A and B are shown apart, each in its own frame.
Chain A
Amino acid sequence: MKKHLGEIWFLIHFALEIICYQFYYFYFGNAVIAGLLALVYDILAFAPQLFIAAFAEKFKKLSCGLVGAIMVLAGGACGFVPNEAVKIIGFLVLSLGNAFVHVGGAEATVYRCENKIAPSAIFIAGGAFGVVTGKLLGQYGNPFIIGWLIMLVFGALIPLSDKFKGERHTPTIQMADTKKPVPLIVFMAFFVVSVRGLLSYGIPMGWNKSVLHTILLFCMMGLGKALGGILSDRLGAKKTALISTGLSLPLILLGGENMWVSLVGIALFSMTTATTLGILISAMPKHPVVAYGISVTGLLIGSLPAAVPSVKGFISNAAVLSLFTVICFVMLYFIMSPDKISVKKEVKKDDVS
């Protein structure tokens, strides 16, 4: 069971995003204040995660996941009340509960999976699949009870995960070059996360015209996020981060009208999520949940400039994408420690000489 915490939290995260997105699209999709509610959701679901993470580090016995799941289910249940005000209050509770569940997942996967980033990456990947499922369920008017029951079923996995709550191992992931100043590593990783958050809104996707395309897009995003962690553990994080960052740029730019090229580029682009989280965790191993909170905050801040109403232009997008990808590449190269595999080879060479 402990070996599969990543997969367990994948399912919980998947269910969490289903209930949140279905609630929103089912009840408020056509509401006048739909935009405002979505903004409130983002603020409540993302902004408090850093603070909740710090809280979770201090109060080790508190199960953020369970608290969050109860809030999400209670908030979701308000959707069944035929009163708009109750529904809005329920949505606010659900949004805040979302933040708690995220921190619970981060805590479970970073503290109990020792030197592996894959479980955290798999947990994060579940969200992409949940977002698209919930969105489609809500938009097509499927009864909200479906999403609520999915959360109830998968939320029941949280107490199983909490069985291992007593086992807290300081993560031994070594992705950051800790010879360099830790604040600098944290700043650069934060910068990379923010920039990647922003760039994700600049990816040209002229091919995305149908529901099937949207499903494929989200699936490749999720797949990329999970693969980023798995490959980091198997091949080495630095190699994975640099190759995926470098390769994603031409594929994304060339794939504006070519779906398959673009999808591969997007999967590669999403792979950095795991490595930046790993860098932050290895820079501050005594506070890995806070490290997760920092990456979420980076993502939120990075997405803000994308909300500036603008004329869409391919050239400006391409220029910004290229410039920032190069900056991210250099920063990742600088703050990441050499992969263990290559270090071993170097040691062998030294032995021979």
Chain B
Amino acid sequence: MMFLDVMNFSGIGEIALPVIIIVAVIAVISVAVIFAGDITNRQKTKKLIQDTEKSKKEVKKDDVT
């Protein structure tokens, strides 16, 4: 950014620090929630696949009997 270069701005501002920390906390929480959601979804999908396979096997057994 030309403006930041010209005005010699460098260093992440201490004034901006509280704002940055708030954003960081929000980001950490959202990442954690998203991860948790992702893991739950994966487990649900896995269980669904297992249940489907189980029921398929049961249907086959019923056909045989």
Residues of A within 8 A of B (CB): 21, 24, 34-35, 38-39, 41-42, 45-46, 135, 180, 184, 191, 198-199, 201-202, 205, 300, 303, 305-313, 316-317, 320-321, 323-324, 327, 330-331, 334
Contact = CB atoms under 8 A, between A and B. Distances in A.
Identify whether the interface residues of B are mostly helix, strand, loop, or mixed. Answer: helix
Nearest to B25: A323
Given A184-B34, A310-B14, A327-B24, A201 B4 contact: yes
B10 to A, nearest CB: 6
Contacts of A34: 6
Contacts of A42: 1-3
10 contacts: A191-B27, A201-B4, A305-B12, A308-B15, A310-B14, A312-B10, A316-B17, A320-B12, A327-B31, A331-B31
Interface of B: 1-7, 9-17, 19-20, 24, 27-28, 31, 34-35, 38
A313 B1 contact: no
State the 4 A-B residue pairs at the shortest beta-carbon distance, nearest first: A310-B13, A312-B11, A202-B12, A308-B13
B39 to A, nearest CB: 11
Contacts of B14: 310-311, 313, 316
Contacts of B12: 198-199, 201-202, 305-306, 310, 316-317, 320-321
B33 to A, nearest CB: 11
A316 B20 CA distance: 11
A159 B40 CA distance: 53
Contacts of A313: 11, 14
B18 to A, nearest CB: 11
